[in-house]
Amino acid sequence: MTKLSVNINKFATLRNSRGGNNPDVVKAAVDAQLFGADGVTVHPRPDERHIRYKDVYDIKEIITTEFNIEGNCQEQKFVDLVLDVRPTQVTLVPDALDQITSNHGWDTIRYKDYLVEIVGVFKKAGIRVSLFVDPVIAMVEGAAATGTDRIELYTEAYALNYPADREKAIHPYRAAAEKAGDLGLGLNAGHDLDLHNLHYFAQNIPGLREVSIGHALISDALYLGYENTIQLYKRQLAV
C-alpha cells in the first residue's frame, strides 16, 4: 500500500504565531507515528517561519518511521542540515525565498548539471533523494538523468481540476508515473491531496510509493481529530 507521510509544518506555524511550545511539534511527530502514519515530513525554510532547524534535530531523536526533509537545496544551510541529520529521504524543491508554499517542480533539463551534483552529494551520504517535478514527460526523463532515486509529482493541478473532470485531471499524472516506472524511478506525490481526491489518485497512479500531506490533513484534524484523520487518509490509500 502507498505510504502516508504526514507533513507537520502547520503545527509549527500555529506554535510560532503565539510563541512558547504549544502545540508541541515533537509531540505532533510522535503522535503521527503512534496514530498510524508511515512517515513524518518537515519543510524548513530559511526564515524558519514554521519548522525551525532545531525542530528537525529534535524530531530526528524520536523518529521511528521514515523521516523526509523537504527544502531548497540551493540554500547551503539546508544542505548542511540534511547531511547532519541524515533522514531517510530528502526531497529537493526549487523554492524561491519569498514563496508561501511550493508552486512548481524542477526544470530538470535546464538544471541537470546542478542536480547531478547535488543528488550525488546526498546519495553519497546514504540518503534517498527525491526531486519535486511537474507531471511532464520531459521533466521525468530529465530527473532520471540526474541519478535521483525518486521523483515527487507536484499535484496542485490535479487537485484544482479534479472537481470538473477527474479523468482529464489524472491523465498527465498517469503518463508521468508510467514513464517514471519505465525509467526505474520511485514515485511519490504531494500538494493539495485531500480526503476528496486522494483515493482516485492512488487508484490510478501506478507504482505510487508515498504521498506527503500536510495542510489538508491538519485542517481536517481540527474538526475530525488527529488520530481519526490519519486513519481516514490511510483508508484512501487502501486501493
Q: Which residues are catalytic, by number?
A: 43, 70, 191
- List the one residue out of 225, 236, 174 whose CA is nearest residue 2: 236
Residues making up the chain, counted from first to last: 239
